[in-house]
Structure 1
Amino acid sequence: MRHQLFLFDLDDTLLDFRASEQLSFVQTMSALGYDGAIEPVFQDYQAINVALWRSFERGLVDKDFLKVERFRQTFAIHALALDPSAASKLYLDALPETVVLVEGALEVCAALSVHGEIGIITNGVEHIQQRRIASSGLGAFLSFVATSEACGHAKPDVRIFDYAAGMARAFVPEATIIVGDRLDADILGANRFGIDSCWFNPGGAPNGSEARPTFEVARLHDLLPVLAQ
């Protein structure tokens, strides 16, 4: 196998963040005493959350603002007299306890750990991502976790890729690959940093962006034969 350093995005690549997000949101709203229809509130929260993360990746907002603002905007839309700061704390406490693995994540990481070093590179909150990894069982196969919070820069900024490379035991650009679900963060960042990439695209979405993945897979299990070629 040509690659020796395998960088993985975490959310929606190894961990099913959408499933975890919904479970955590439901728990949060229940703890706040909300007993109304949850789905329309959750849908608005998701849209607001995605928009705020995109703003964070462009350096327009900071993470502490994002964590509370997503709930403030959601509650305002639905005229809910709930505390967004309390909601943020409850949600972040619940998130590490609602981990759902993407199919094949453990098996693929176990197999690749035999061939080289595995690291995580994620635009996430440091202590939350560390706790989620610990709950997932993936930690046994990982050498390091590089988060945007610890680095100070978010994907696709090449500085977080450089930060992750510095955490590795050995970094050789032509022997390094990142696997991720987002063209605008994982794949574009890899293009700019000069390493290979694999787009994890389970939904078969078209690529209308400037990002150019080296490989593309629809299932994590497909990654092993692709990299073995």
Structure 2
Amino acid sequence: MKHRLFLFDLDDTLLDFKASEQLSFVRTMGELGLQGDLEPLFQQYQAINLALWRAFEAGSVSKEVLKVERFRRTFVGNGLDLDPAKASSLYLESLSETVVLVDGAQALCESLAACGEVGIITNGVHHIQHRRIASSGLKGHISFVATSEACGHAKPDSRFFEFSARMARARPFARHETVIVGDRLDADILGANRFGIDSCWFNPGGLANDSLALPSCEVRALDQVVPALRQLALAA
């Protein structure tokens, strides 16, 4: 295998964020006194949250605003007299405790850490992502965690990839020995294209690529990553 630095997106690549998100949202609403069927409210929250994250990645909203605003808009849209700042605090606290691994994540990180260096690069909230990694059982295989909050720039900005590359410890950084594995074309794969490194698109849903991002390889499951990277090395 030619790669020696393996950069991983965290949410929906190694950790099942959708499962954690729903568990945390339901727990948060319960602590605020909301019971019953919360699915319609959760779906509205998800749509609002996604739009705000896209705005953050475009540089038009700060992460501090995002964390509270997603709850404020959800509550206002449903006529709920609840404190969005309190909801944000409760949710983030819960999110670090409700960690669900994607199938194969543990084995993959262990395997790659044995032949190179594994780093996490994430647009998520800095201290929450560190706590989630600690709760996941993956920490022993991970060399470093780079967050957009610490960097000041978010994927797909090349400055975030440069920041992440500087955190590598094992050897001098080399683009041809680096690959990112991630689920998002618009952040992970496009960022890799701009930075000039290989990319592996984790696409469990078999989605069509209608974007300008060009992954070096594509997998449906994490146990396909190592064979895909080996094949990529042979084709180089």
How many Å apart are 1:158 and its aligned residue?
Answer: 0.3
How many Å apart are 1:35 and its aligned residue?
Answer: 1.6
Deviations 1:122-156 (A, max 9, x none): 00111000000000011000000000000000000
1:108 alignment partner in structure 2: 108
Q: 2: distance between equivalents of 1:6 and 1:183? A: 17
Deviations 1:21-76 (A, max 9, x none): 00000000000001242000000000000000000000000011000000000011
Structure 2, unpaired ranges of 5+: 232-236
Q: 1:216 aligns with which of 215, 218, 222?
A: 218
* SS of aligned partner of 1:213: coil
Matched, 1:151 2:151: yes
Q: 2: distance between equivalents of 1:63 and 1:206? A: 30
1:178 alignment partner in structure 2: 180
Q: 2: distance between equivalents of 1:22 and 1:46? A: 9
Q: 1:198 aligns with which of 194, 197, 200?
A: 200
Q: Equivalent residues in 2 for 1:6-17 (5 A)?
A: 6-17=6-17
* SS of aligned partner of 2:121: strand
1:4 alignment partner in structure 2: 4
Deviations 1:141-178 (A, max 9, x none): 00000000000000000001000000002311000000
1:85 alignment partner in structure 2: 85
* SS of aligned partner of 1:115: coil
Matched residues, percent identical?
68
- Amino acid of the residue matched to residue 162 of structure 1? E
Q: 1: distance between equivalents of 2:230 and 2:56? A: 36
Q: 1: distance between equivalents of 2:208 and 2:35? A: 39
2:138 alignment partner in structure 1: 138
Q: 2: distance between equivalents of 1:83 and 1:5? A: 43
Structure 1 runs of 4+ with >2 Å offset = none
1:46 alignment partner in structure 2: 46
Q: Equivalent residues in 2 for 1:159-174 (5 A)?
A: 159-169=159-169, 170=171, 171-174=173-176
Q: 2: distance between equivalents of 1:152 and 1:11? A: 19
Deviations 1:60-116 (A, max 9, x none): 000110000000000111111111000000000000100000000000000011110
Q: 2: distance between equivalents of 1:38 and 1:65? A: 24
- Amino acid of the residue matched to residue 109 of structure 1? C
1:119 alignment partner in structure 2: 119
Aligned residues: 229
Structure 1, unpaired ranges of 5+: none
- Amino acid of the residue matched to residue 94 of structure 1? S
2:234 alignment partner in structure 1: none
- Amino acid of the residue matched to residue 84 of structure 1? P
Question: Under a length normalisation based on structure 2, what TM-score does the superposition of the two structures give?
Answer: 0.96
